[in-house]
Every structure is written in structure tokens, then in C-alpha cells.
Chains A and B, each alone.
Chain A
Amino acid sequence: MTGYSPPSNLSNPLATIEQLSTSTSQLDGIPADLELSVRFVGARLTQAAGILLRLPQDTVAQAIVIFYRFWIGAGGGSLKDHDAKDVSAAALYMMAKLSPYPQTPRNVLNVYSYLLSDSSNLLSPADSKTRDPEAYYLSEGTYYSQRTQLFQTERKLAFAMGLQTHVALPYTIAINYLQALDTFGQPKSNALAQRTFAHLNTALLSPQMLYLTHQPPALATAAIYLAARELDIKLPDDNWWEAFDTDREELGFLVVGMRSVEGFAVSEKEKWGRRSVPLTVEAIDAELEARRMLENGE
């Protein structure tokens, strides 16, 4: 009759160093830079689909975290075996199912069909758009086969996760910290909160997968720190982050990490130019083949 402990819904299991340093994709011969690109685009795809499905951001964020978790570690999924677009859809579908706003498979697949078509400018430059609804119309036959694929991927995702679908997020914690820091009521307080959330959203796309390496309190603290500095808002002089379970070193790392996403996004854009980042096993293979030929000067 003792042994009470509150549910651990404020923390996440974190990735270990081994998981971060070896991925199944890399063991399968996928270059690290290509994996980074695919993960980045996959996370953006998940975010975009979540917006089109009008899902709350916390559900989308959870889906992105689950998406990342699937790929890491030697026991994770490989880009040689799984289409990144399918994993993205399955993650979003599963997390929406657990949320108060479940989505039908048809809604999810329609949205992905659109986002992956030429009509969407998510994956390729905005000019030369076809704007042809036919291009992303999902026929019944295609729908059923994609739905089967969605369910299979969902199952693999769940197994890879050990059915651990809980993802703690830093958003509400950040609000709580902002209150504790007594920022509300001061000028620019709304801007501060918005900026904080913006950094938290950006961090979701970080190639360093910050949500897998740091606990929500540290992410919230770093986002607040960064936002306050950008807006020139004064926070306590003391090492206030220590009150929020974040030490100086971790804060510094996170701030750098959050700031680096923009540069990474720009370099990705330059790197891929008009080409699409491969989101299927087939496209990955084609990309590898192209690189091989380029290397051999063929």
C-alpha cells in the first residue's frame, strides 16, 4: 500500500550514444548525409501533413519524435527496407489515433498523396507547378493498397518502439517556466511565448534530433533562453536554468543546436536544388546508383 509514484509523463526515454552513432540505414550502406536529408524531409513532411489534417501541434510533434525513433539504433528501421514517406504517415496516423482527434486512413492518405505530388511545393520548388488535381487523386484501388501499407508500417513502427507511444513534450512545460520566471504581464510577453514555441517547433526538425537527446525541461529552458535573448527581454540574473533541471553545458548545447537548424535547412536546399529528396526505398536506391556513377565518372 505504499510505493506511490506519479506517472512519468513529463520525461522521455532518450536515445543512447550507441543508438545515435549507428543506425540500421548506415549499416546498410546509406551515407550519413543522405540519411540526414531524408530524416529532415520526413520530419517536414510529417509537420506539413499534420497541418493539413488540422491536428494540434502536440500531436504532430509526437509523430515527428516517433518518426525519428524508428530510424535510430542498430535495431531500428532501415531506409533500405522502409519508405520514409510511409513511416511518416504511419507515425502521424498512430499518434492521431491516440489523440482526441483521430484521423481516418483515407484522410491521412489523401493528404500524403497531395503532399507527395508535383502539385505540392513541399518537396520541390514552387515554380513549374502542375496544379492538377488529377495528379493526387487517390483511386479506390490505390487507396486500399496504400491503406494496407499504412497498417503494416504502423505495426512495424509500434514494434520498433516496444509499443512505447508516450512522448513527453516541452510546450506546456515552457509555459509553466515562463510563468515561473514572471514574464507574463511584462511587455512583449506574448511575443516571448510565441518565439519560445517557434524555437521548440524548429528544434523538432533538428538533424541532431534534439527531442531524442534531451528531456523536455531542458528543451523548454533553452527555447526560452534563446527567445528572450532575441527579443531582448531580461530574465533573472542568476543561473535560473538550473532551477529547471538544466545545467549550463546542456543549455549551451541546445541553444547552438536550435540555432543551427536554419543553416542546415539552407544548405539542404542548396544541396538538393530542384531534385527531390528520396522518400522511398526505390528512390533511395536510384540516388545511391546515381552517386556511384558520379563517383566513377560514368
Chain B
Amino acid sequence: MEPCLTMPYEISSQAWSERSTPPMQNINKMRAQRKPLEFNSDGHSRFQGCSSIRDYEILGKLGEGTFGEVHKARSRKDGYVVALKKILMHNEKDGFPITALREIKLLKMLSHINILKLSEMAIERSKGEGKKKAVMYMVTPYMDHDLSGLLENPHVQFTEPQIKCYMLQLLEGVRYLHENKILHRDMKAANLLINNQGILQIADFGLARHYDEQPPKPGKGGGEARRDYTTLVVTRWYRPPELLLQLRRYTTAIDMWGVGCVFGEMFKGKPILAGNSDLHQIQIIFDLVGSPTEQNMPGWSTLPGCENVKSFKPRTGTLAQTFREQGSSAISLLGELLKLDWRKRINAIDALQHPYFRTDPLPAKPGQLPQFEDSHELDRRKFRGQKAALPPAPAGGTVGTGPNGEWIGPSSRSTGPWQSNSFRPGGSGPWHGHASATGSYPANQGTSESRIPHIGRGHVPNQANHRPAWARNGENARQSSTFHNRESDLGSHYGRHAQHSRTDPSISSAGRGDSYVPNYSDDNDGSRLRLEGTRREERYDRAHYSYDRREKLSRPAGRTRSKSPGVERSRDRVRERERDLYRR
């Protein structure tokens, strides 16, 4: 380009200095202003390997799931309290679980106050190189509660400013995700973590994926999708109607439906749409918001349908009646979020502008919210024998937290320099010999922190049913495990889902006017958990812990999966098959 550079490739410092250069001080100024990309704001190199589990002092177990345990721990480096979520590696036929890779990759890229931060990865090595597999932990800030646990706590009653405050934060987080073209695909109360500073964070990206369409625009709802995605996502109770009807070209609107469900749940103190099967789920959705027509859900009749059912009894919906105590602006926002037409369902940008947040009482500020005692899944499981049905989890997460949200945890951000973490095998840390992950959801709680008595909200548990669900259900226990661990949180609300005990889906599909409100009759019927032979149900098994817990109790600790009974092996096969579906 310039004469002096016609010998292009020998650029000596002299050659460069021949060109007119800005005064040195300008260069230095520019350099000073340049943000070094290779360092975090805390000065740590961004290129680093895993830290060691020995850098953490384990304080107790917070939760346990098919895909891993969650522990509370304190960093020995900086004293921060964190949650460690174990990534279990089953014998995967495709190597390192894609869901784990995806979740970690996404979390590492995200940075928003309302998204749970992945501080680092920690690794637990065992003695004897190569003999045992290393175990990985995702390290995240410790959060005191998850929303579903908080709602379970009978001592906690949300005020309207508080609900508005949480909703604003939730919508901010969702807006950030969607703006950055990420579908969360497992929006639910159990995946929303809350700390005692009143901050809400979205967790569990085990099902999340990159979204190939344009991000939502103001006033345009979720837009349209041009490509297919798997419909095997989102925990059933939070699954939108278009997914239940098998729309594959779905949009960010699927997350907004979940936000609506969470919104209603904050008022009611329990999930508002707790279906016991996919078909039942769509029935109670239509009970609540009305049945689909070409006006309110254009194109619905061309969808494959829910379990091949495509006609539904006409009804008008009971939303306004059900939430009449919440006032018109709340009902208005709820109606926008729970809109059948996914194209018109409100997006996060517009929801943040909804008059609901501008009418009295105004939203609280996070710092003004009351503090609560820790609510973790394990705390809530005190009466787990009373546990009722379980919430179906989506299949996805092979990643440590699995589909549930109990990744509640901890918080800290300690990261040592890459170099200091030897990649080579070292001695064993304090965790060596720690019982190998059985993938079960824990029954006991490691922390002795104050536990609130969790007596179910308002109904008397049936004594006869105080045994754990798996014990009551005998062989059906396995199916019962299809419910999500969130269920276990519901332990004290035993009977809440009793109405779902029907084995015959056709019964549940018979429209019941108010069936979205569970009646609390006792259920002592082992068949209440319908055995669904469908793949989807099988899939849920993976996510539920109670099955694994049973397994854990019935066999010596440390037993490996490969020795498990044949039934489990066959489950594993199904699982592998299912996993393929998740790839995309």
C-alpha cells in the first residue's frame, strides 16, 4: 500500500518507524484504554484449567439428582461460599455429554445479574492415575433459596411488591437470554434461585441451546421460527400448549409460557398447571385459558396434536375467575404470558413495560425484601415420605443438575491461575473416597442449618402414606420417579396431586371445569402414577431422584451403575436413545 512497504514481509521495527506514527503518548493512552481481553475484571487470566476440589471445603449436601449431587462448600482461597454441582458421567456412547458441554459453554458466555454465574470448574482426582475417572464439579455462587422451595415454606408469604420485584428480575434475565439468542427450555420455579439480597437468578442450562432465529422485537411477540427443534423439552407443568401439540418450530415464546406459570405460582403458592400426563396437561391448560380456536391459536389444528388427540371440548377459560383476587393488571399480564397463540404471546421486552409494574403497589427493590431461612430441596424433604407425585422433568439434562432446579448453591468466584492447577494427577484430596456418585437424590441434608418445619400447606397428610413414594408404589415406583425432584419439594403437599392418580388418561381428559386446581383428596393408590409406556415417560425417569434414592438404599454404596439390575440397564439403553434426541 505504501512505497516504503514494498518489501512487505520484512517488517523490522525500523521499517515501522518510518511510517508516521502518532506521538508515543497517544499510543500509550490508547493502550491504557484498551481493555485486555485475556483477563477477567478481577485480573485473573481467563485461560485456565480446572481448579481442584481440594480448593473447597465441603459444608454439606444441598441436593442430589440423577445427574449429580449439589454440595455447599467454602473456597479455601477466598472464603466464598459456593455450590458445587457434580457432573456425572455415565457410560456415554458419545463420550463427554453434549448437554454438559453445551451448558458449560453457554454459562461461560453469559454475564448478567439475573443469570446464575458459573464461577469455574473444579475437578476431583483420585489416586492412581487413570484408574478412576475424575469427577467434575460446576462451581456457582451459593444462593439461599430456590423459588419453588420458598413457595413451599409455609412461613413465607409473598407480598405483591415482592412478586413484582421477582417478576421484573425474571423478565430481565429472560430478556437477556433471548436477546442473545438462547432458549432456556426448562423455565420453572425450581430453576429460579433467590438469595437473601433479594436477587433472583435463572439456573440450569442443561436443556438450553442456541436459537437460530432473530431475537424477539418489541411488540412482535416471539416471532417465527424457521427450523425444527426437539419437542422433548420443558418440565411438563411449565410446558406451553404448542409444545404439547408437538410444534417443532417453536420460538422464545416457550420460555415466556413458563414465566407465566411461575407468575401464577407465586400467587397460588403452588404450580398452577400440574398435569399428570401430557394429555391431562393440555386439558387443564385449556380449562384455564380456554380451548383453542383458529382465532386464539391460528394453525393449532394443523399441529400433530397431543398424543394423537386433536379435538378438545370447547370452553372459555377461567383465568380471570381463578386470579380474581390479584387484580386486573395482574390478570392482564398473566393472560399475555399464558396466551395460546405463541406468535402473539408477549415477549420479555414488552412484559417489562406492562402496566402491572407501574401500578400500585409498586415493585419492591431487591434489597428491601425480607430475608428467609434457607430453603433447599433437602430442607424441604424432611417429610419426604409424604411426598406426592413428582413433577415431570424434561429429559434433557445429563449435566449435573439435571432438569431440576436444585442447583442451589453457592457462590464464589475463586479461580486460581491456570498454571497453578496441575493437570497431572496429584494426590487425592479430602474428597477422595467420597462415595461415588450414585446419581441419587439425597435424602439427608448435610447442613444442620435451621430447618423450617415443613408441614404441608393446609392439608393433613394421610398417615398411611407417610412412607416414601417408592415404598408405597412398589414396582410402580420406577414410574413414579418420572416426576421431577421439584416434587420432592412438594413432599409436604402430599395429596396435592392426588387427583392425578387416575390411571386412565381418558378420564383426566374428560374436561373438568376446574381441574387445574388439584383437589387434595388422599391418594393411597399405587397406580396414581400412571404407567405410561411412552418414551417420554421413560425419559423422565432419568430426571427424577426418588427412583435413584430407592436404588441407593437398596444396594451398597459405591456400587457402580454397571452392576445395577438389568432393568436399569435397559433403562440406560432407552436413555441413550433418548439422548440422541437431545442432541439437536
Contact = CB atoms under 8 A, between A and B. Distances in A.
Nearest to A238: B20
B30 A247 contact: yes
A161 interface: yes
Contacts of B31: 247
Contacts of B133: 155
| Residue of A102, A161, A234 with most partner-chain B CB within 10 A | A161
Contacts of A12: 37-38, 47
A283 interface: no
Interface string A154-189: 110011111111100000000000000000000000
B172 A1 contact: yes
Interface stretch (A13-21, A46-54, A127-135, A285-293): A13-21
A245 B96 contact: no
Contacts of B180: 6-7
A229 B1 contact: yes
Contacts of B50: 159, 162-163
- Residue among B11, B169, B583 with most chain A CB within 10 A: B11
Given A166-B105, A215-B37, A235-B1, A7 B111 contact: yes
Interface residue SS majority, chain A? loop
A150 interface: yes
B95 A151 contact: yes
Interface residues of A, number: 63
Interface stretch (B232-240, B416-424, B505-513): B416-424
B307 interface: no
Contact of A154 (B47, B96, B418): B96
Interface stretch (A29-37, A74-82, A110-118, A273-281): A74-82
Interface string B337-366: 000000000000000000000000000001
Contacts of B27: 247
B108 A164 contact: yes
Interface residues of B, number: 63
A163 B50 CA distance: 8
A8 interface: yes
B476 interface: no
Contact of B423 (A14, A24, A154, A256): A24
A94 interface: yes
A93 interface: yes
Contacts of A226: 8
Nearest to B106: A7
A202 interface: no
Interface in A174-225: 215
B421 A155 contact: no
Interface string A232-263: 01110101001001011100100110010000
A1 B114 CA distance: 7
Contacts of A233: 1
B131 interface: no
A166 B34 CA distance: 22
Looking at B136, B169, B423, the one whose CB has the most chain A CB atoms below 10 A away is: B423
Given A94-B96, A166-B105, A252-B16, A13 B423 contact: no
B98 A98 contact: yes
B108 A256 contact: no
Contacts of B8: 226, 229-230, 255
Nearest to B34: A245
A30 to B, nearest CB: 15
B94 A75 contact: no
Contacts of A164: 46-47, 104, 108
Contact of A255 (B11, B98, B104, B120): B11
A155 B95 contact: yes
B97 to A, nearest CB: 10
Contacts of B49: 75, 159-162
B31 to A, nearest CB: 7
A14 B47 contact: yes
B113 interface: yes
A203 B361 CA distance: 60
A8 B108 CA distance: 9
Given A1-B168, A105-B95, A166 B109 contact: yes
A15 to B, nearest CB: 6
Contact of A73 (B172, B176, B418): B418
Contact of A155 (B2, B10, B89): B89
A248 B11 CA distance: 11
A247 B114 CA distance: 36
B570 to A, nearest CB: 21
Given A94-B96, A215-B37, A5 B111 contact: yes
Given A12-B37, A14-B38, A151-B92, A98 B419 contact: no
A269 interface: no
A163 B9 contact: no
A146 interface: no
B38 A13 contact: yes
Contacts of B94: 97, 105
Contacts of B418: 16, 19, 73, 75, 162
A157 to B, nearest CB: 9
Nearest to A150: B95
A239 B26 CA distance: 13
B112 interface: yes
Given A16-B418, A98-B102, 15 more contacts: A1-B113, A1-B168, A1-B172, A11-B38, A13-B48, A14-B46, A16-B47, A74-B422, A75-B421, A97-B95, A163-B136, A166-B108, A237-B1, A237-B2, A256-B11
16 contacts: A7-B110, A7-B111, A13-B47, A14-B46, A16-B418, A16-B419, A75-B420, A78-B424, A98-B101, A151-B92, A159-B136, A163-B100, A229-B8, A239-B19, A248-B21, A252-B13
Closest A-B pairs by Cβ, 5 of them: A13-B47, A13-B46, A11-B37, A7-B109, A14-B38
Interface of B: 1-2, 5, 8-11, 13, 16, 19, 21-22, 27, 30-31, 34, 37-38, 45-50, 89, 92, 94-96, 98, 100-102, 104-105, 108-114, 120-121, 123, 133-134, 136, 168-169, 172, 176, 180, 366, 417-424, 583
Interface of A: 1-9, 11-16, 18-19, 24, 69, 73-78, 93-94, 97-98, 102, 105, 150-151, 154-155, 158-166, 215, 226, 228-230, 233-235, 237, 239, 242, 245, 247-249, 252, 255-256, 259
